[in-house]
Amino acid sequence: MTNSPNPVDISVVVPVYQEEDCIKAFIERATPTLEAIGGYEIIFCMDPSPDRTEEIIREEALRNSAVKLVTFSRRFGQPEATMAGVLNASGKAVVVIDVDLQDPPELIAEMYEKLGQGYDVVYAKRRSRSDTSWSAKLVRNPLYFVGYKVIAALSETDIPRNTGDFRILSRRVIEELRYLPEGHGFLRGLVAFVGYKQTAVFFDRVERSLGTSKYNQFWGSFKIAFNGLFGF
């Protein structure tokens, strides 16, 4: 995939890995919100997946030219896939969101409206979450807690708590990210680092209803914490 010479109003970057059950449902649910905003593209970015994820995305791309795909030759991980999608996006605004619909695509409209009020970054902040399993409590939450605490102590970068990568970025933030020397994909840390005017919208995160996550809780959380600690 190459950047379009004619930028759309909004790009939606969706990292995926073994998500064949979610692709069609995500497109169907997100499309009305995106069409109401204007010209759009949905960029699925993925490591090689052993299921039908890539095949389904390519089928959907034949039906809808707004659906696009960024792939790697081998598995690099979700943070790197996300960053590749962001840097390939042509939109005047760029959203990052998970495919499993735990983050509501309808919230994108409110986030986009905030950009029009002069903000460059609008991140979705969880009021509550009903998806916290015992494994998350034992593994992910402690790693994130320690990682954020150490980052706050060792740097001037303040990463908002109770947020993930679900956010919308203005084009000038994307261009700042493009020229940063950091090569990893710790998006939430890099976005906090570049500054600009930022705000939050709030939502309640629901349980996953489609498929099962193939995300390795320990390794994924450790990698994010590691990148956050040593990336600044």
Query: Sign of dihedral through CA atoms 20, 67, 44, 46?
Result: positive
Write down the pLDDT at residue 137: 53
% of the chain exceeding 90 in pLDDT: 42
Map residue 90 onto helix, strand or coil: coil
C-alpha–C-alpha distance, residues 228 and 189, integer Å: 6
Map residue 99 onto helix, strand or coil: coil
Inform me whether the pLDDT recorded for 18 exceeds 80. Answer: yes
- 10-230 homologous superfamily: Spore Coat Polysaccharide Biosynthesis Protein SpsA; Chain A (3.90.550.10)
pLDDT digits (tens, 9 = 90+) for 66-94: 999 988 777 667 778 888 888 889 999 99
**Can you give the residue ranges of every domain in the chain?**
10-230
Helix (H) or strand (E) holding 228: helix 217-230
Write down the pLDDT at residue 62: 96
Q: Residue 47 is which amino acid?
A: D
Map residue 61 onto helix, strand or coil: helix
pLDDT digits (tens, 9 = 90+) for 126-165: 876 665 555 555 545 555 555 555 555 545 556 666 667 8
Inform me whether the pLDDT recorded for 54 exceeds 90. Answer: yes
Write down the pLDDT at residue 190: 78
Write down the pLDDT at residue 81: 81
Tokens found for residue 191? 């976005």
Q: Counting beta carbons within 10 angstroms of the beta carbon of residue 51, is it exposed (0 to 12), middle (13 to 18) or buried (19 or more)?
A: middle
Predicted TM-score (pTM) above 0.75: yes
Write down the pLDDT at residue 82: 84
pLDDT digits (tens, 9 = 90+) for 162-221: 667 899 999 999 988 888 765 556 777 777 777 789 999 988 877 766 656 555 554 555
Alpha helix (H) residue ranges in 64-156: 78-88, 107-115, 134-135, 141-154
b/e 184-194 (16+ beta carbons within 10 angstroms → b): bbbbbbbbbbb
